[in-house]
Amino acid sequence: MIMTYLEAIADAMRQEMRRDPSVFMIGEDIGTYGGAFKLTKGFLDEFGPGRIMDAPISEAAIIGAAIGASLNGMRPIAEMQFIDFITNGFNQLVTVAGTTAYRWGLPVPMVVRGPSGGGVGGNPFHSRDPENWFVHATGLKVVCPAFPADAKGLMTASIRDNNPVIFFEHKGLYRKIKEDVPEGEYVVPLGQANVVRPGKHVSVICYGSAVHMALAAADTLSADGVDVEVVDIRTLVPFDEETVLASVRKTGRAVVAHEAVLTGGFGGEIVARITEKAFRYLDAPVVRVAAFDSPTPFAPTLEAAVLPNAEKLGQAIRNVVAF
């Protein structure tokens, strides 16, 4: 069935809520209003206010309550209206959720999800890509889907996972990307990268919105005879190192791309793994393409300038191939 990225996420949550009475949602304006992006439209009617719980503007209480409920047999899904607001619940995730399995040996089966990403004129407070903060936190799984089918399958896997999962939905993809999504139960296991476009000359390792930049750049470059392989890592934690290394061993060249800012981004980790474990296969230095190290600005001219795009990524790929 053809679905948007947004519909696919909603479909996964609806199906899991029908299947498992321990799954419930908590967040701001998710009930009557159906969510700021209308992702939970119709959920209140189907599941009632006991399972679609409108919460005060209190991200720490929302995430903390989700942790408590998950320690008591439930599988909460906590929505951040914009993922930027996750900073208000940071302590709950980093201090409590991410340390519980290690300290107590108890599962914390919860998902914190919300719209991330720029390119939509959001301003510095509605455009963050903060996924790597949580990679560094330990004990949290980090998921960044790029396609509707993956979004559905990864959401299903995230809800069923016994660990806290942070699920980053790129808001620019919500209604932009449509594809055929498997109906019914559909699981994409966490920790499996996907070669979304096979190629011979250079690997682009990426996730989220950068996957679409990479595919666009690959199309452009193919006219010049450059055959680009695109690897969508899909989840940052767990990280499927083997698929990435296999691609780089095959092509001998790599560009790492993400929309999040460059310094301290997950791209640095990917580069480190490649140079540690596939150095002798490399024919060129590994290059990163990412946002300029600034907050995401508001005006379209500034935002377009600081964020990566297909053209910037295409140029980086050309440079690596020409090295």
Partner 1 sequence: MTKQRRNDKATQTWSLPAAERLELLRMMIMAREFDAAMLRLYRQGKAFGGVYSQLGNEAVSVGTAYALDRTADVLFPMHRNIGAHFVFGQDLDTLMVNHLARAGSQMRGTDGTGHYADPAKRIYGNVSHLGAMIPVAAGFALASRMRGETCVALTYIGDGGAQVGEVHEALNFAAVQRIPLVLVIENNQYAYSTPSHLEFACEKLSDRAIGYGMAGVTIDGTDVELVLKTTQDAVARARRGDGPTIIETLTMRMRGHAEHDDFSYVPKEQLEEWAKKDPVERYAERLITDGVTTAESVAALRATTLADMIAAIDRAVELPWPDASEGFRNVFIDEVSA
- List the one residue from 14, 29, 41, 71 that touches partner 1 (CB under 8 A): 71
Q: How many CB atoms lie within 10 A of CB 41?
A: 14
270 phi and psi angles, rounded to 5 deg:
-65, -45
Query: Can you say whether the dihedral through the CA atoms of 221, 226, 227, 230 is positive or negative?
Result: negative
- List the one residue from 161, 169, 232, 241 that touches partner 1 (CB under 8 A): 161
Peptide bond into 107 cis (omega under 30): no
Of 2-10, 123-131, 133-141, 280-288, which segment contacts partner 1 by CB under 8 A? 133-141
For residue 251, what is the DSSP state? Answer: H
By CB under 8 A, tell whether 96 contacts partner 1. yes
- List the one residue from 15, 81, 132, 163 that touches partner 1 (CB under 8 A): 163
Q: How far apart are CA 249 and CA 192, in angstroms?
A: 18
Nearest to 195 by CA among 180, 182, 186, 205: 205
By CB under 8 A, tell whether 58 contacts partner 1. yes
Q: Closest separation between CB of residue 316 and partner 1, Å?
A: 34
CB nearer to partner 1: pick between 92 and 251: 92
CB nearer to partner 1: pick between 157 and 271: 157
Q: Closest separation between CB of residue 125 and partner 1, Å?
A: 18
Q: How many CB atoms lie within 10 A of CB 211?
A: 29
Name residues contacting partner 1, limited to 38-57 (CB under 8 A).
Answer: 50-51, 53, 55-56
By CB under 8 A, tell whether 120 contacts partner 1. no
Q: Are 249 and 277 in contact (CB under 8 A)?
A: no
Is 126 assigned a catalytic role?
yes
By CB under 8 A, tell whether 162 contacts partner 1. yes
Token pair for 166 = 């942070």
Of 69-77, 113-121, 145-153, 296-304, which segment contacts partner 1 by CB under 8 A? 69-77
Q: Are 205 and 255 in contact (CB under 8 A)?
A: yes
By CB under 8 A, tell whether 279 contacts partner 1. no
Residue carrying the six token digits 């992702």: 39
Edge-first strand order for the sheet with 228-232 is 194-197, 228-232, 202-206, 254-261, 287-291
**Secondary structure (DSSP) of 131-155:** HHHHHTTSS-EEE---SHHHHHHHH
CB nearer to partner 1: pick between 188 and 204: 188
- List the one residue from 113, 126, 152, 160 that touches partner 1 (CB under 8 A): 160
By CB under 8 A, tell whether 95 contacts partner 1. yes
By CB under 8 A, tell whether 269 contacts partner 1. no
By CB under 8 A, tell whether 60 contacts partner 1. yes
Residue carrying the six token digits 């908590």: 26
- From the list 126, 170, 212, 258, the catalytic residue is 126
Token pair for 208 = 């989220």
Q: Closest separation between CB of residue 98 and partner 1, Å?
A: 9
Chain residues that interact with partner 1, rule: CB under 8 A: 24, 50-51, 53, 55-56, 58-76, 91-92, 95-96, 99, 101-109, 138-139, 141, 157, 160-163
Q: Which residues belong to the active site?
A: 126
